[in-house]
Amino acid sequence: MSSTIKDVAKRANVSIATVSRIVNNQTGYSEKTKKKVLEAIEELGYQPNAVARGLINRRTHTIGVLFPKLSSTFVTDLLSGIEKATHEAGSSLIVCHTESNGEKTMKYLQLLNEKRIDGIIFTSAPLIDEYYQYISKMNVPLVLLSTESYAYNVPYVKVNDRHAAYTATQYLIKQGHKDIGMISGNKDDLIAGRPRIDGFISALQDHNLPYDEQKIVTNQGFSFSDGLGSLKTLLDQSPDITAIFAASDELAMGAISAAYQLGIKVPDELSIIGYDNLSIAEMAIPPLTSVAQPLTEMGEVAANMLFEILNHDKVVKSRIMPHQIKERNSVKERK
């Protein structure tokens, strides 16, 4: 049904080469022919076939983004930034939800390869050797988002997790808290788990506050249900704490819910600070103070990096994004 460049050429009484030149804003035609061709295009409702273009130009104007199962609004925020920047750059986005499953990731990578996408954004998961090797062979640029690689030199966009955790803990300390606990994610997760724990411990030590292992409860992940279960454990281990740093907002929400069930008043009896500043933070009761990551902006930056490489062949530098405390009402000053 849809017409081709041939149809346009025929209708305007020119060759397909001329049509191509005009469609691509090149030079080498008179104003008169241009007008004629444009009219023919209009009349036929001609839209260039991006598939044919992709075949010859070796550029599909499509990029792929991979992400594992994550706290949902975390993903949405990242994604909407990526999507925005991608479309502004005239490309489109193929999303691949890997469910933190290695096999599936390889399948996706293969798919993206067959589709000859222009580049990849790899999100929130460790870039293991197998993936890296495969992507290298694909020969397309790669940007890491909300993750980084210690083994390979791949540009990334993320906040400094250790630093952000330090800031959060320090905030609690400045509010007068001296006995502080942490509900953490997976301590074996070297990207987001461990650094936040390290930042927490550093802050305590730098301020000469007591620290021992009983101050931390670790979990499998960063989810609400992890947080729900962690509060009691933490309180059992360290009954005297007056404040908690939770390594994600969902963890914090879980802790708040658990506190409610236990009859512990937040923030009067216990202060809690979260991490991420998702939209759920403002819905909490009380509204959750949190370390904000600029997720949407991070998504945009990552996508723009990719296009920088793609369009200008530039070597890009990784970006550490700023974090900041978003104050709400879940932390109380302790005199």
Kindly list the residues in this chain that would bind DNA in the complex (CB under 7 A).
4-6, 13-18, 20-21, 23-24, 26-30, 32-33, 48-49, 52-53, 55-57
Binding partner at 30 among its own copies, DNA, none, C-beta below 5 to 8 Å by kind: DNA
Residue number, 99 or 213, with CB nearest to its own copies: 99
Residue number, 110 or 220, with CB nearest to its own copies: 110
Residue 35 makes contact with its own copies by CB under 8 A: no
Q: Which of 33, 92, 233, 318 binds its own copies (CB under 8 A)?
A: 92
Phi-psi region of 257 (alpha: psi -120 to 50; beta: other; left: phi over 0): alpha
Map the footprint of its own copies across residues 277-316, applying CB under 8 A: 279-280, 282-287
Other C-beta atoms lying within 10 Å of the C-beta of residue 83: 19
Other C-beta atoms lying within 10 Å of the C-beta of residue 261: 11
CB of 117 to its own copies, least distance (A): 9
Residues 6+ apart with CB under 8 A from 185: 192, 193, 196, 218, 219, 221, 222, 226, 247, 248, 251
- The Cα–Cα gap between 98 and 192 comes to 18
- The Cα–Cα gap between 82 and 307 comes to 11
Window of 12-20, 46-54, 165-173, 197-205 that interacts with its own copies by CB under 8 A: 46-54
CB of 205 to its own copies, least distance (A): 33
CA atoms 134, 297, 72, 245: torsion sign: positive
Residue number, 87 or 314, with CB nearest to its own copies: 87
- The Cα–Cα gap between 177 and 170 comes to 9
Query: Using CB under 8 A as the criterion, what x/- string covers residues 244-263 for binding its own copies?
Result: ------x--xx-xx--x---
CB of 88 to DNA, least distance (A): 21
Binding partner at 94 among its own copies, DNA, none, C-beta below 5 to 8 Å by kind: its own copies
Binding partner at 27 among its own copies, DNA, none, C-beta below 5 to 8 Å by kind: DNA
CB of 112 to DNA, least distance (A): 15
